Amino acid sequence: MNSSLCVKCKGKGLCGRPFCPILEKFRSVGSAFTGITGETSIFGASPPSVFVGRNNYPEVRAGPMIPPQLGGDEASLLEDPKALLKMGIRDIISSRSRLVRANTSVNVKNARNTDNPLIEKSQELALSKKAVDTEAWFVKPLRNKLKFDNVLTPMGPSGELKDFDITENPKVPRKVDSLIYDTDALAKDAISELWDSNVPAEHITRLLSIGLLGQERRLVPTRWSITAVDDQVGKELLTKIRDYQQISDIRVFSGEAFGNHFEVMLMPRSFTFELIEVWMPQAVWSGHTSWIESDSEGFGGKKGYSNLAGGYYAARLAALEYLNSIRRQASVFMVREIRPEYWAPLGVWVVREAARQAFEAQPKVFGSVEEALTDMSLRLRTPSGKWMEKAKMLTNNRAQRTLDSFF
C-alpha cells in the first residue's frame, strides 16, 4: 500500500479495500480487553454518550453508548478528555472498549418528529451533564467488533436495540434546556451560546449529533459533528480576536500528548493560521515513510474544507482559545509532529488537547522569527529543511514588511 495514501485516507476506504488492514489490527487488539460479547441485555451508567454512524447516510444507525456494570463516576471518565490524558494508549483502548454501541436504524431527517422511542430516549440521555443509569436489551447477542478511526475515540461492541430505558432523571444544564426548545435559533448560534455558557465541547457535540440543535432538526454523524463544533466555535472566537490588538513579541510554545508533539510560534501580526503535519515513519498511519502536508488561512478565515481534515480545526481551536484568553491577535504557525509513540488512533480530541497543553506551558520569547524557528527545530525530530518547504504562509510573512517596520 502507498503509505502517503494511508495518511490521507485514515481508514475512509480510499484504497478501494473493503476493510482497512490498519484498523482491523487495532480492532483485534481492543477485542482482547472486552468480555461483553454474547450478552442480550446490559445495565450501566452512560457517561452520558450517544453515537450516530455515517454508513448508508441518510439512513444511519444511532443510539446510546453504555458501559455495563459501571457506576456514574467511573463511567464519566470515559468521555472526559482530561481524564483520558492521564492514561496510556493501551489503557484508553481497554477502558473505551467497554462502551457498548446500542443502535437502531433511523433517517437523519426524523430527529424531531420520530416514531422511534429509542431515538427519543437517546435524545433525553444526551441532555444530561452527568452520567445516567440506563438499561438496554438487544435483538441478538452483542458482537465483539470495536470501532476505531482518525476522528472518533475508540468504542466497544455493537448491538441492535430492542428496548432501552433511562432509570434516573438526567441532570440538564439550564442553557441546554432552553436552547433545545428554541427552534428559531440556527445551529451555529446555538453552538456559540452553549460554548459561551461553558458547556463542554463533548456535550455540545452530542446535542448536535442526536438532532437537538438548529431550526431544521436532523441527526448528524458523530464524526461530522465533532469537526462542526470545533469549526463553529473557532469562527465565533475569530470574530472577537480580529478586533484585539496584536501581541508585542514573538512567542514559542511546546507541548505533547501520546506522541503528538506541537511546536507553536506566535508572531505580532494580524491573525493568520498555518498548520504543518509531519507523520514520522512507524506512526499509526504512516508506515515506513514520512508524510508532510500543510494548510493555512488568512485574516478572512478558512475557505472550504481543510486537506488536513478534523485535526486542522481542533488545533486551530486551541490557538484561538489562547488568543481570546489574553485578548490579543497574532499570526499562528504550528508544527504537529506525529511520532511512532502514537501507535493507535484515539480520535481528534488528542490533537485538541495536545495543542492546549502546549499553550498551557510558559512560552519562550524571541527577537526574531529565525531565532524562534531555530529553537523549535531543537525539539523536533524531523529536520527543519523538510517541513519548512511546506510553510507557505510563514514564508510570505517573513518576506512581507508591515507598517510598523517603517517606524
Residue 146 identity: L
Is there a domain that residue 374 lies in? yes
Look at residue 79 and tell me whether its pLDDT is greater than 80. yes
Domain boundary among 166, 199, 221: 166
Claim to verify: residue 191 and residue 249 sit in the same structural domain: no
Claim to verify: residue 213 and residue 274 sit in the same structural domain: no
User: Pseudo-torsion of CA 25, 30, 34, 35, nearest 10°?
Assistant: 20
Claim to verify: residue 269 and residue 366 sit in the same structural domain: yes
Is there a domain that residue 11 lies in? no
User: Pseudo-torsion of CA 151, 156, 158, 162, nearest 10°?
Assistant: -110
- Structure confidence by residue, pLDDT tens digits, 165-200: 999 999 999 999 999 999 999 999 999 999 999 999
Q: Are 309 and 150 in contact (CB under 8 A)?
A: yes
DSSP characters over 40-78: SEEEEEE-S-EEE--TTTTEEEEEEEE-TT--HHHHHGG
Is there a domain that residue 131 lies in? yes
Phi, psi of 264 (to 5 degrees): -130, 130
Domain boundary among 166, 185, 217: 166
Nearest to 212 by CA among 181, 172, 257, 254: 181
Claim to verify: residue 37 and residue 141 sit in the same structural domain: yes
Q: Is the peptide bond before 58 cis (omega within 30 degrees of 0)?
A: yes
Range of the domain at 215: 176-232
Phi, psi of 329 (to 5 degrees): -115, 160
Residue 324 belongs to a domain with what CATH number? 3.30.230
Claim to verify: residue 140 and residue 93 sit in the same structural domain: yes
Number of H helices, E strands in the chain: 15, 14
Is there a domain that residue 7 lies in? no
Instruction: Output the CA–CA distances (angstroms, integers) from residue 185 to 180, 194, 234, in the order listed.
Output: 9, 12, 19
Claim to verify: residue 217 and residue 249 sit in the same structural domain: no
| Alpha carbons 327 and 325: distance in angstroms, whole number | 6
- Structure confidence by residue, pLDDT tens digits, 137-169: 999 988 777 787 778 888 888 899 999 999 999
Average pLDDT of the chain to the nearest whole number:
90
Claim to verify: residue 224 and residue 255 sit in the same structural domain: no
Claim to verify: residue 151 and residue 279 sit in the same structural domain: no
365-383 in b/e burial notation, b at 16+ Cβ within 10 A? ebeebeebbeebbeebebe
Q: Are 334 and 315 in contact (CB under 8 A)?
A: yes
Is there a domain that residue 218 lies in? yes
Q: How many CB atoms lie within 10 A of CB 343?
A: 15
Is there a domain that residue 406 lies in? no
- Structure confidence by residue, pLDDT tens digits, 285-344: 887 889 999 999 999 999 899 999 999 999 999 999 999 999 999 999 999 999 999 988
Look at residue 4 and tell me whether its pLDDT is greater than 50. yes
What is the structure's pLDDT at 246? 97
Claim to verify: residue 223 and residue 340 sit in the same structural domain: no
Claim to verify: residue 370 and residue 288 sit in the same structural domain: yes
Largest CA distance in the chain: 75
**Number of folded domains in the chain?**
3
Claim to verify: residue 220 and residue 137 sit in the same structural domain: no
Look at residue 105 and tell me whether its pLDDT is greater than 60. yes
| Alpha carbons 284 and 196: distance in angstroms, whole number | 35
What is the structure's pLDDT at 364? 98
| Alpha carbons 26 and 405: distance in angstroms, whole number | 53
Look at residue 26 and tell me whether its pLDDT is greater than 80. no
Is there a domain that residue 6 lies in? no
Claim to verify: residue 258 and residue 376 sit in the same structural domain: yes
DSSP-assigned letter for residue 155? B
Phi, psi of 229 (to 5 degrees): -70, -45
- Structure confidence by residue, pLDDT tens digits, 195-242: 999 999 999 999 999 999 999 899 999 999 999 999 999 999 999 999
Is there a domain that residue 386 lies in? yes
Look at residue 30 and tell me whether its pLDDT is greater than 60. no
